[in-house]
């Protein structure tokens, strides 16, 4: 992802908060495999673990799971089991970095008609698309041995934590559904059908492409343009554009 300076966000606590608010990430691997494509991606919800929330530099780890029947999971397992030096009972790590891309639900086309300063004066305007995204690079440890206690413990904890996050933070339930509400035999079968993924984050960066590079009149035009759409999405876009414009000005000063 191209992180142009004016759009880039490198504040780690801000990136952590974004991931937790938008936990569905696109998990991408690059694996030489005779059974699948070299590049594969899957949408996976993630838990972000940070040992010290007060440490503004700690990147943390991502935890998630995916279906064992997923072609990407099959390629991962094939790659790991082809290593003759694999230690039995220990969750192995992929040799190459992986990428996870998180996107905000608010994104929209920006018409040149919004540029009320430049369009009337020079006409040198072009359409674009405003959006917010965070990319994460890291090293992935894979829990796929269904006979391993380590795998069982990882999957049990991850499924429970993801459920708690989604039931409370996303759904807002005061009495959330819990994994314990399901029969134990059902959960045992479920865990055999998935593999666990833990990513030690080595780098992350964010992109808030929200017209903050535009001239003042054009920036205000974008805010007004989104507001006059009269939709919830338009209002949300206007709020983010305004907020990022104010932040850009604050950083300049």
Where along the chain do its domains lie?
A: 8-111+119-212
Which tens digits make up the pLDDT trace of 56-87?
999 999 999 999 999 999 999 999 998 655 65
Task: Give me the percent of the chain exceeding a pLDDT of 70.
Answer: 97
Report which DSSP code applies to 167: I
Q: Which residues lie below 8 Å from residue 188, measured CB to CB, with a gap of 6+?
A: none
Could you report the per-residue pLDDT of 133-184, keeping only the tens digit for each?
999 999 999 999 999 999 999 999 999 999 999 999 999 999 999 999 999 9
How does pLDDT run across 36-60, given as a tens digit for each residue? 999 999 999 999 999 999 999 999 9
- Alpha-carbon distances, residue 112 vs 6, 119, 145, 222 (angstroms): 20, 7, 54, 9
Q: How many residues does this entry show for the chain?
A: 253
Q: What integer is the mean pLDDT of 116-125?
A: 91
**Fold for the domain defined by 8-111+119-212:** Pnp Oxidase; Chain A (2.30.110)
Task: Kindly report whether the global pTM for this prediction surpasses the value 0.85.
Answer: yes
């Amino acid at each position: 992802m191209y992180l142009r300076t004016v759009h880039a966000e490198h504040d780690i606590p801000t990136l952590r908060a974004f991931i937790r608010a938008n936990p569905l990430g696109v998990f991408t691997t690059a694996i030489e495999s005779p059974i699948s494509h070299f590049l594969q991606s899957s949408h996976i919800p993630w838990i972000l673990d940070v040992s010290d929330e007060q440490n503004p530099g700690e990147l943390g780890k991502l935890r998630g799971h995916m279906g064992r029947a997923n072609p990407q999971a099959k390629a991962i397992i094939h790659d790991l089991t082809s290593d003759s030096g694999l230690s039995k009972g220990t969750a192995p790590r992929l040799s190459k970095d992986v990428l996870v891309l998180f996107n905000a639900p608010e994104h929209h086309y920006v018409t040149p008609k919004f540029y009320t300063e430049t369009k009337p004066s020079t006409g040198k305007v072009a359409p674009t698309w405003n959006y917010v995204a965070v990319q994460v690079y890291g090293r992935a440890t894979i829990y796929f041995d269904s006979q391993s206690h380590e795998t069982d413990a990882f999957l049990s904890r991850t499924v429970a934590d993801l459920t708690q996050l989604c039931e409370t933070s996303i759904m807002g339930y005061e009495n959330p559904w819990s994994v314990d509400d399901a029969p134990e035999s059902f959960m045992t079968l479920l865990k055999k059908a998935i593999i666990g993924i833990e990513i030690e984050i080595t780098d992350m960066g964010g992109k808030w492409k929200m017209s903050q590079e535009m001239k003042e009149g054009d920036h205000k035009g974008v805010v007004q343009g989104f507001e006059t759409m009269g939709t919830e999405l338009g209002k949300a876009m206007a709020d983010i554009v305004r907020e990022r414009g104010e932040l850009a000005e604050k950083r300049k000063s």
